[in-house]
Amino acid sequence: MTPPTVLLILSFLIPLTCSLSPAGEPGRLEEYRTVARRLLEAALRDGEAYAMLQELTARAPQRLSGSAGADSAVIATKRMMESRGFDRVRVEPVMVPRWVRGPVEKAEILIPGRRPISLAVCALGGSVATPEKGITAEVVEVKSFDELHALGTGARGKIIFFNRPMDPSKLNTFEAYGGAVDQRVRGAVESAEAGGVAALVRSVTLSSDDVPHTGAMGYKEGSPQVPAAAVSVRGANMLSDFLKKGARVRLRIRLSCATLPDVPSSNVMGEIRGCERPEEVIVIGGHLDSWDKGAGAHDDGAGCIQAIDVVSLIRRLNLMPKRTIRAVMFMNEENGLRGGKAYAAAPERSTEKHIAMIESDRGAFAPRGLTVQADSLSLEKVRLWRSLFEGLNAGRIEKGGSGADVSAMVGKGVAGFGLDVENHRYFDYHHSANDTIDKVNPRELEMGVVVLALLCYILAQEGIG
């Protein structure tokens, strides 16, 4: 094997001009291998992603759409790109929903003859408030909507407690999440339609602690709107134990959240212009908004910062992408997807041709590959590059989703890509106070940058489809 130092020296001798030499596939693969090694060494040695993520999560730890923190995040990331000399740093406007948590979120278990027992809860995003004095009602536990429906009139006037855990036996935690999150999203609607007065949902997480996990929920036009809260896993288990023992359990819930009128906000973007086909664009993005309980370090501060560092790294190494590589911080993924939709609908899009939409929104863990949301031919083309990604321990290239923010563009036929990472820990932090910078490992964060930068660069040179 050629020693790394020799390869490093060689890499600086290879002329990086705009046009790649018309080498055959194996020759180009070798060029990309050299690029991969340069990206790897530069990112692991001098990568700025962790420092930028520290800055973002310190300056704007709470970035829910429409909040002051979200404004700070727009300003901070715009400056990060400007100060690094990106081309065409700008914002694109988008109106976003504004939901505020308010100061009160409390729940107590009331059992005759005992003192009230506090439960760790938080309002679900989008929930209406309770009356100021709270809602006090009996609790009924269900594990599914079918169980709820089977209660018939037994649900009337009750607080419906949805307590189906994520299935721990799934290897892929996103699959386990998908199997439980319906309770959070639709719990309030189903509760109201069954005659319930509020929904209390077991936190959608695999960790067993006292931290409630928030997330989006919705209402249905024409149905009553009842408040909805998440309860920590330990709280859910305690409540369930009381119910199992046959105690007459009532719950008092107080939430002070509210939905205010939409407010203006923006997506943020900057790029390195393609030297040959600047109007052809590869987007690498994450979402700038995050839930307000933690600092959104993994979800999705990391994805935004990785996007910035991808473009920054490609610039620093004087790589010359033929096509434009654009870092986009989408606003409002968590409770509206307005940023992704606005990007797709912006007038400027009609003057551009998008080659690929790439998103990193699965946490800043060690990357293990890519998910590809495109036709089979495109997938096969990407798989020709597998050995390059294998060299970065990221050789899993599978058909799969890309990301919520990029879905509007992918829906128009643009090839979508998602960064696939080790995800055992992700839902321990997701949408909760646990999602803070100390849970991010700088090297794992940077390895995401390396994999994404390599993908962006190859797509800029080769196109897809």
Q: Among 10-18, 232-240, 255-263, 423-431, which window interacts with a second copy (CB under 8 A)?
A: 423-431
- 125: which strand partners? 216
Please state the φ and ψ torsions of residue 422, each to the nearest 5 degrees. -65, 120
C-beta of 98 vs 368, nearer to a second copy: 368
Token couple for 298: 């993994």
Phi-psi region of 425 (alpha: psi -120 to 50; beta: other; left: phi over 0): alpha
Q: What angle do CA 463, 332, 254 make, to 5 degrees?
A: 150
Candidates 16, 20, 44, 91: give the one binding a second copy (CB under 8 A).
44
Binding-residue pattern over the window 376 to 405 for a second copy, x denoting contact by CB under 8 A: ----------------xx--x---------
- Least separation in angstroms between CB 197 and a second copy: 34
Q: Is residue 441 at the binding interface for a second copy, with CB under 8 A as the rule? A: yes
Candidates 1, 131, 171, 221: give the one binding a second copy (CB under 8 A).
171
Report d(CA 223, CA 411) in Å as an integer: 30
C-beta of 3 vs 103, nearer to a second copy: 3
Who's near 94: CB < 8 A, 6+ residues apart? Answer: 264, 265, 266, 267, 331, 332, 338, 339, 342
State the catalytic residue, choosing from 92, 105, 141, 333: 333
Phi-psi region of 24 (alpha: psi -120 to 50; beta: other; left: phi over 0): beta
Q: Among residues 139, 97, 73, which one has the least CA distance to residue 288? A: 73
- Least separation in angstroms between CB 369 and a second copy: 10
C-beta of 37 vs 287, nearer to a second copy: 37
Q: Is residue 447 at the binding interface for a second copy, with CB under 8 A as the rule? A: yes
Q: Among 40-48, 96-104, 224-232, 301-309, which window interacts with a second copy (CB under 8 A)?
A: 40-48
Candidates 98, 298, 368, 431: give the one binding a second copy (CB under 8 A).
368
- Least separation in angstroms between CB 298 and a second copy: 14
C-beta of 322 vs 368, nearer to a second copy: 368
- Least separation in angstroms between CB 185 and a second copy: 23
Report d(CA 379, CA 397) in Å as an integer: 8
Say which DSSP state 246 is in.
T
Report d(CA 130, CA 347) in Å as an integer: 42
User: 10 Å Cβ neighbour count for 4?
Assistant: 11
Q: Is residue 40 at the binding interface for a second copy, with CB under 8 A as the rule? A: yes
Q: Among 54-62, 225-233, 441-449, 452-460, which window interacts with a second copy (CB under 8 A)?
A: 441-449
Q: Is residue 206 at the binding interface for a second copy, with CB under 8 A as the rule? A: yes
- Least separation in angstroms between CB 237 and a second copy: 16
Candidates 41, 108, 147, 193: give the one binding a second copy (CB under 8 A).
41
Q: Is residue 366 at the binding interface for a second copy, with CB under 8 A as the rule? A: yes
Candidates 238, 277, 425, 436: give the one binding a second copy (CB under 8 A).
425
Can 333 be counted among the known catalytic residues? yes
Token couple for 287: 């979402």
Q: What is the 3-state secondary structure (H, E, C) of 288-351?
A: CCCCCCCCCHHHHHHHHHHHHHHHHHHHHCCCCCCEEEEEEEECCCCCCCHHHHHHHHCHHHHH
Residues annotated as catalytic are 333
Q: Which residues bind a second copy (CB under 8 A)?
A: 40-42, 44-45, 168-171, 173, 206, 366, 368, 392-393, 396, 422, 424-425, 428, 441, 443-444, 447
